[in-house]
């Protein structure tokens, strides 16, 4: 074989090899396009799922807001039914939910423990009466009702302090009101 023939064969082999590479890279390009299309479809489906979850969360938030508004109204009605004592500084609503109610009773001065017991239990009973008036069963609904009592005071260094006096709560397992001292 002459040098010219050898060079021609080398050029032909190189061209055939190049054509094969072009064909292979074309296949890879098609594979890449398919992979991208699959990824886009997957992300679109994921976005639909995320949008659905967001909508569900928004609905949950709206439902909880409505339940909280109803609970706040119920607690306010309960507070209004209990005559205020002159030793009270005030009552604050601290929890309000569908089956969760909480009040905080502040006293002006240290009261006898028997008064704390009677006041906190009467407030728990007032809330339970409001729940029953709605036709609900606190025990069956696992309703949580708590009323804590405390005194707002100032410590030796001028720091504001909250001195707990006790907490009354409804025990739905026993269907009774319990009281615990700090």
For 2-22, the pLDDT digits (tens) are 665 666 566 665 555 555 555
* pTM of the entire predicted model: 0.68
- Structural contact between residues 94 and 103, judged by C-beta atoms closer than 8 angstroms: yes
Rounded-to-integer distance, Cα 112 and Cα 110, Å: 7
Rounded-to-integer distance, Cα 61 and Cα 64, Å: 5
Quick: pLDDT tens for 59-88: 888 888 888 888 888 899 899 899 889 999
Whether pLDDT at 49 is above 70: yes
CATH class of 69-180: alpha beta
């Amino acid at each position: 074989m002459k040098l010219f023939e050898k060079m021609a064969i080398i050029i032909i082999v190189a061209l055939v090899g190049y054509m094969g590479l072009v064909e292979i890279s074309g296949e890879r390009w098609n594979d890449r396009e398919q992979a991208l299309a699959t990824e886009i479809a997957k992300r679109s489906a994921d976005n639909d799922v995320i949008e659905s979850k967001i909508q569900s969360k928004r609905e949950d938030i709206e439902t909880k807001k409505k339940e909280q508004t109803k609970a706040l109204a119920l607690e306010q009605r309960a507070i209004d039914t209990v005559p205020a004592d002159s030793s009270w500084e005030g009552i604050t609503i601290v929890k309000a939910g569908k089956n969760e109610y909480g009040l905080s009773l502040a006293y002006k001065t240290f009261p006898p423990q028997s008064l704390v017991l009677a006041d906190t239990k009467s407030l728990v009973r007032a809330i339970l009466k409001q729940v029953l008036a709605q036709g609900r069963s606190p025990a069956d609904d696992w309703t949580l009702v708590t009323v804590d009592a405390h005194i707002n005071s100032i410590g030796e260094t001028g720091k504001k302090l909250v001195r707990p006096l006790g907490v009354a709560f409804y025990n739905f397992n026993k269907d009774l009101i319990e009281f615990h001292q700090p």
